Amino acid sequence: MEAEASTYLIRPKHKFKAGVAKEFMREILREELTGVQYNPDEIPTLSRSLAESIKKKLKGVGFERYKIIVQVVIGEQRGEGVKMAARCLWDADTDSYAQEIYMNDSLFCVAVAFGVYYY
Protein backbone atom coordinates (compact mmCIF):
# COMPACT_ATOMS: atom_id res chain seq x y z
CA MET A 1 0.00 0.00 0.00
CA GLU A 2 1.43 3.37 -1.04
CA ALA A 3 1.47 6.32 1.33
CA GLU A 4 -0.62 9.26 0.20
CA ALA A 5 1.09 12.59 -0.36
CA SER A 6 0.05 15.39 1.99
CA THR A 7 -2.43 17.75 0.36
CA TYR A 8 -2.19 20.38 3.05
CA LEU A 9 -0.48 23.49 1.65
CA ILE A 10 0.86 26.16 3.95
CA ARG A 11 2.03 28.43 1.15
CA PRO A 12 0.21 29.28 -2.08
CA LYS A 13 1.38 27.91 -5.42
CA HIS A 14 0.49 31.28 -6.98
CA LYS A 15 0.33 34.39 -4.83
CA PHE A 16 -2.40 37.02 -5.13
CA LYS A 17 -1.06 39.41 -7.74
CA ALA A 18 -2.15 42.98 -7.06
CA GLY A 19 -1.20 44.12 -10.58
CA VAL A 20 -3.43 41.51 -12.21
CA ALA A 21 -6.31 42.34 -9.87
CA LYS A 22 -5.89 46.08 -10.52
CA GLU A 23 -6.10 45.60 -14.30
CA PHE A 24 -9.29 43.52 -14.02
CA MET A 25 -10.82 46.09 -11.68
CA ARG A 26 -9.91 48.96 -14.02
CA GLU A 27 -11.50 47.13 -16.95
CA ILE A 28 -14.73 46.36 -15.05
CA LEU A 29 -15.10 49.89 -13.64
CA ARG A 30 -14.58 51.48 -17.05
CA GLU A 31 -17.05 49.15 -18.75
CA GLU A 32 -19.75 49.54 -16.11
CA LEU A 33 -19.39 53.22 -15.15
CA THR A 34 -18.58 55.05 -18.38
CA GLY A 35 -21.41 57.51 -18.97
CA VAL A 36 -23.21 56.67 -15.71
CA GLN A 37 -24.69 59.60 -13.81
CA TYR A 38 -24.88 59.61 -10.01
CA ASN A 39 -28.35 58.57 -8.80
CA PRO A 40 -28.56 57.88 -5.05
CA ASP A 41 -31.41 55.40 -5.55
CA GLU A 42 -29.33 53.21 -7.88
CA ILE A 43 -25.97 53.35 -6.06
CA PRO A 44 -26.55 50.47 -3.57
CA THR A 45 -27.46 48.07 -6.38
CA LEU A 46 -24.65 49.32 -8.60
CA SER A 47 -22.08 48.97 -5.79
CA ARG A 48 -23.12 45.37 -5.08
CA SER A 49 -23.12 44.52 -8.78
CA LEU A 50 -19.62 45.91 -9.27
CA ALA A 51 -18.30 44.10 -6.19
CA GLU A 52 -19.77 40.80 -7.40
CA SER A 53 -18.35 41.28 -10.92
CA ILE A 54 -14.88 42.00 -9.55
CA LYS A 55 -15.01 39.06 -7.14
CA LYS A 56 -16.21 36.67 -9.84
CA LYS A 57 -13.47 37.79 -12.24
CA LEU A 58 -10.75 37.44 -9.59
CA LYS A 59 -11.95 34.00 -8.51
CA GLY A 60 -11.74 32.91 -12.15
CA VAL A 61 -8.07 33.89 -12.36
CA GLY A 62 -7.00 30.93 -10.25
CA PHE A 63 -5.94 32.39 -6.92
CA GLU A 64 -6.49 28.99 -5.33
CA ARG A 65 -7.26 28.88 -1.60
CA TYR A 66 -7.60 32.66 -1.47
CA LYS A 67 -10.53 34.36 0.17
CA ILE A 68 -11.39 37.31 -2.06
CA ILE A 69 -13.02 40.28 -0.34
CA VAL A 70 -14.18 43.21 -2.47
CA GLN A 71 -15.36 46.61 -1.27
CA VAL A 72 -16.84 49.20 -3.61
CA VAL A 73 -17.69 52.76 -2.59
CA ILE A 74 -19.48 55.14 -4.96
CA GLY A 75 -20.10 58.81 -4.21
CA GLU A 76 -21.29 61.93 -5.91
CA GLN A 77 -18.59 64.03 -7.56
CA ARG A 78 -18.82 67.48 -5.98
CA GLY A 79 -15.17 68.49 -5.96
CA GLU A 80 -14.75 67.59 -2.30
CA GLY A 81 -11.98 65.36 -1.00
CA VAL A 82 -12.58 61.86 0.35
CA LYS A 83 -10.18 59.76 2.37
CA MET A 84 -10.45 56.03 2.93
CA ALA A 85 -8.38 53.68 5.02
CA ALA A 86 -8.31 49.99 5.88
CA ARG A 87 -6.41 48.02 8.48
CA CYS A 88 -5.94 44.30 8.29
CA LEU A 89 -4.11 41.68 10.27
CA TRP A 90 -2.62 39.21 7.82
CA ASP A 91 0.42 37.35 6.58
CA ALA A 92 2.50 39.80 4.55
CA ASP A 93 4.14 36.88 2.68
CA THR A 94 0.89 35.60 1.16
CA ASP A 95 -1.87 38.21 1.52
CA SER A 96 -2.24 41.39 -0.49
CA TYR A 97 -4.70 43.89 -1.92
CA ALA A 98 -5.35 45.97 -5.01
CA GLN A 99 -7.27 49.19 -5.45
CA GLU A 100 -8.62 51.11 -8.39
CA ILE A 101 -10.32 54.52 -8.64
CA TYR A 102 -12.73 55.62 -11.36
CA MET A 103 -14.07 59.16 -11.74
CA ASN A 104 -16.27 60.99 -14.17
CA ASP A 105 -18.08 64.37 -13.98
CA SER A 106 -20.91 62.91 -11.91
CA LEU A 107 -19.43 60.25 -9.60
CA PHE A 108 -16.35 58.65 -8.13
CA CYS A 109 -15.81 54.99 -7.36
CA VAL A 110 -13.17 53.35 -5.19
CA ALA A 111 -12.84 49.56 -5.45
CA VAL A 112 -10.56 47.51 -3.21
CA ALA A 113 -9.96 43.77 -3.51
CA PHE A 114 -8.25 41.87 -0.71
CA GLY A 115 -6.70 38.45 -1.31
CA VAL A 116 -6.27 36.53 1.95
CA TYR A 117 -4.71 33.07 1.79
CA TYR A 118 -6.77 30.37 3.51
CA TYR A 119 -4.47 28.04 5.45
CATH code assigned at 43: 3.30.1140.40
| The dihedral formed by the CA atoms of 70, 76, 82 and 86, expressed in degrees to the nearest 10 | -10
Q: Would 1 be classed as within a structural domain?
A: no
Is the pLDDT at 22 greater than 60, yes or no? yes
Average pLDDT (90-100) is 93
Q: What is the per-residue pLDDT for 8?
A: 67
Structural domain tally of the chain? Answer: 1
pTM > 0.75: yes or no: yes
**Is residue 12 situated within a structural domain?**
no
Q: Are 106 and 75 in contact (CB under 8 A)?
A: no
DSSP 8-47: --SS-SS---HHHHHHHHHHHHHHHHTTPPP-TTTHHHHH
The answer to whether 109 and 103 have CB atoms below 8 angstroms apart is yes
* Inside any domain, residue 10: no
Say if residue 17's pLDDT is above 70: yes
Q: Is residue 65 in some structural domain?
A: yes
Dihedral sign, CA of 112, 96, 116, 17?
A: positive
Q: What is the pLDDT of residue 86?
A: 87
Range of the domain at 97: 18-78+85-117
How sure is the predictor about 83, in pLDDT bands with cuts at 50, 70 and 90? Answer: confident
pLDDT exceeds cutoff 70 at 6: no
